[in-house]
A and B are shown apart, each in its own frame.
Chain A
Amino acid sequence: MVPLTWYLMLSAVVFMIGVFGFLTRRNIIIMFLSVELMLNGVNISLVAFSHYLQDLRGQILVFFIITVAAAEAAIGLAIILALFRNKATIHVDEMNEMKG
């Protein structure tokens, strides 16, 4: 039997990898994938809690998160597409039209 803490540690690690990816990478797609990673970190902990609490809510929430993430991906890619059409780049460094 794997103890709960292991799952939680994994979850935290995956979440933090996501955070660091988001903070350090410049490519929008990679940044977006990092966010997905953060979400998956959350998913791991939710499923683990759900299992240990013997309660279905956590897993239900995970389903919703996956669904929303899919929708988010669609919208994110659409935005990136529109942006790429106008600027021919997907590097966030080159996107500072607005500042101050």
Chain B
Amino acid sequence: MNYYLLIPFLPLAAFIINILFGRSVLKENAHWVSILAVAGSWVVAVATLMDVISGKTLNQNLYTWIVSGSFKVSVGFLIDQLTAVMLIVVTTCSTLIHIYSVGYMHGDKGYYRFFSYLSLFTFCMLMLVMANNFLQLYFGWEGVGLCSYFLIGYYFDKKSASDAGKKAFIVNRFGDFGFGLGIIMIFITFGTVYYEPVFNQAGSFAANTVNFLGYDVNLITLIALLLFCGSIGKSAQLPLHVWLPDAMEGPTPVSALIHAATMVTAGVFLVARCNAIFSLSETALMVVALTGAITSLFAATIGLVQNDLKRIIAYSTISQLGYMFLACGVGGYTAGVFHLYTHAFFKALLFLCAGSVMHAMGGELDIQKMGGLKKYMPVTYGTMFLASLSIAGVPGLAGFFSKDEILWLAYSGPSPVGKLVWLIGTVVAFLTAFYSFRLIFLTFHGKFRGTHEQEHHLHESPKTMTITLMLLCIGAVSAGWVGIPALIGDAVGLENWISEFMRPVLGHPEGHGTHAEEWMVMAISIAAGFAGIGLAYFLYLRRTDIPARLSEQFSWVHRILFNKYYVDELYSLILIRPTIWSAKNILIGITDAKVIEAIVNGVPNAIGSFSRQLRKVQTGLLQHYAMIMATGVLIIVALMLLR
């Protein structure tokens, strides 16, 4: 028996213990079980990483649930380089966020419930990344979706929270529908849902076409795009990004764990895991790259003008996820996963800092009403500042290395859209730095703009929270040092460890460019980052009158951005309202509510009344029973005679 089994099953055990005994026995101590379990998982995950580094990968079927012909549902684990990195990301973030939640959720009436959901989520996420077949991946995929739904709607007595939960669930349905179809296509094509045979044989199907909705499309492209549908939903890419900002209704630790560090990156993980399929289809890769690039630009511009603390970070998350897809789309899966890994640290940190600020502000989220918090909460300020430097791509910090790698690959890689997405990526880097520091300056610098009561209440968060912030901060600063680009690494004698490490699973596309070009790309991205920070400094600390003037002068731009390009309204206009309108006017108006009634209630009612009619056949009289039996015999005889 392998000890890696402990990784997913410790959190599962914690979930079971909490859900069974949480309410009656554990109560205020519910966190102990969950934290110990997930910390145990972390320890084992580290040990597993060590094993993988020493070259021990593993692909093992644990147990088979059902078999029918070639169809097989089983639980199996694939432990390779990609899994190992994901395990570290998931267990580290999860452990720290569990600890943070002790302070953050203190005194909440559903304390044990919160921790049992967190454990369940961790279990599902681990099953997702450790799967060795698509069905188990799908199980984990739906599992994390369900947990996300529970946790977004955690404050279920708040209408906006339960609405947001529903929205996340429904929007994800669209993506998952495609994903499910993709898995079915894989099973039809390859006759199996196991990664290994699928990825090995994918090449031999590269030229096959299939008729889809009347068009002949390349089979592999179709599969890749269907799988990517799942990614779009789960990782909140255009056009299915609308659920993520609303998901901020959930408790902040949830936003940090699920909607920043782990679950939303599952889409990137999926693309990276299926790189053997995606790499075969240039079309699919291009779609991935462009979707990522456009989404990242789109979300970054929205982030510029938002005032809700958590939503800004949420848009930043969407934007950074776009970056990861951009990386995968130009063939830089390693760079994508590397960014996923660094992003998990600094983004989780940003959210937790935001949580800390909310804690101090008594739930206030509007950054226009904050300011000057620096002196009240130094730890939060310091860590958030570093996290923002990291996301802005300041050299030496985690975000810099992964971002630089992506941009260089986009610029120099073989992708036909490479140059274009590089340009977009650079612009986004500038925007990211700008809105991140806008957030910092508005929140922590300047004068406090809130009420007196709030000011009086300002305080640093409890130890469980600040310690977590500091621990995560170490990650946000140093996580990138495993991927120092060869350009610099050669000079100081460090290798790009992560690229070498991931090469067996993800390959390693080489950029084709001179050193000079590479220096140029790096310089431009650094310049973009500093320009963004500088501009934010100038606009929000030096000349605070300009932003207001700008927004007046370009009020239409501001309006569009502030209203998030009216995507929600667009959906409302083209999807939701027509449905409701036609329901109200056509159906209710014309048929006086009878048609809808017939559709919604009619079928069950018809069956119900049919049932009550059919009941009358059972009269209770023996003779009738015998008569029905005899009639049955006669009918069967007639059936056989007339055949």
Q: Which residues of A contact B (CB under 8 A)?
A: 19, 22-24, 26, 31, 92-93, 95-100
B200 within 8 A of A: no
Distance between Cα atoms of A95 and B622 in the complex (Å):
8
Distance between Cα atoms of A99 and B625 in the complex (Å):
11
- Interface pair A23/B620, CB less than 8 Å apart: no
Contact of A99 among B620, B623, B626, B627 (CB under 8 A): B620
Contact of B621 among A24, A31, A96 (CB under 8 A): A96
Distance between Cα atoms of A23 and B618 in the complex (Å):
16
- Interface pair A97/B630, CB less than 8 Å apart: no
- Interface pair B623/A26, CB less than 8 Å apart: yes
- Mask for B608-625, Cβ within 8 A of A = 1, else 0? 000000011011111100
- Interface pair A100/B621, CB less than 8 Å apart: no
Closest 3 CB pairs of A and B: A99-B620, A96-B620, A92-B622
Distance between Cα atoms of A99 and B621 in the complex (Å):
8
Least Cβ distance of A18 to chain B in Å?
Answer: 12
Would you give 22 A-B contacts (Cβ < 8 Å), ordered by A?
A: A19-B630, A22-B626, A23-B623, A23-B626, A23-B627, A23-B630, A24-B623, A31-B622, A92-B623, A93-B621, A93-B623, A95-B621, A96-B621, A97-B620, A98-B620, A99-B618, A99-B619, A99-B620, A100-B615, A100-B616, A100-B618, A100-B620
Residues of B within 8 A of A98 (CB): 620
Residues of A within 8 A of B626 (CB): 22-23
Q: Which residue from chain B places its CB closest to the CB of A20 in the assembled complex?
A: B630
Contact of B619 among A22, A24, A26, A96 (CB under 8 A): A96
Distance between Cα atoms of A24 and B627 in the complex (Å):
9
Give the tally of cross-chain contacts (CB within 8 A). 30
Q: Which residue from chain A places its CB closest to the CB of B616 in the assembled complex?
A: A100
Least Cβ distance of A93 to chain B in Å?
Answer: 7
Least Cβ distance of B170 to chain A in Å?
Answer: 41
Q: Which of B615, B616, B623 has the most CB of A within 10 A?
A: B623
Least Cβ distance of A63 to chain B in Å?
Answer: 27
Residues of B within 8 A of A26 (CB): 623
Q: Which of A19, A26, A100 has the most CB of B within 10 A?
A: A100
Distance between Cα atoms of A23 and B634 in the complex (Å):
14
* Given pairs A97-B620, A100-B618, 16 additional interface contacts (CB within 8 A): A23-B626, A23-B627, A23-B630, A26-B623, A92-B621, A92-B622, A95-B620, A95-B621, A96-B620, A96-B621, A99-B618, A99-B619, A99-B620, A100-B615, A100-B616, A100-B620
Residues of A within 8 A of B619 (CB): 96, 99
Residues of A within 8 A of B623 (CB): 23-24, 26, 92-93
Residues of B593-643 at the interface with A, using a CB-CB cut-off of 8 Å, are: 615-616, 618-623, 626-627, 630
Distance between Cα atoms of A96 and B616 in the complex (Å):
12
Residues of A within 8 A of B615 (CB): 100
Distance between Cα atoms of A98 and B620 in the complex (Å):
6
Residues of A within 8 A of B620 (CB): 95-100
Distance between Cα atoms of A92 and B615 in the complex (Å):
20
Distance between Cα atoms of A55 and B615 in the complex (Å):
49
Least Cβ distance of A37 to chain B in Å?
Answer: 14
Least Cβ distance of A73 to chain B in Å?
Answer: 18
Least Cβ distance of B524 to chain A in Å?
Answer: 81
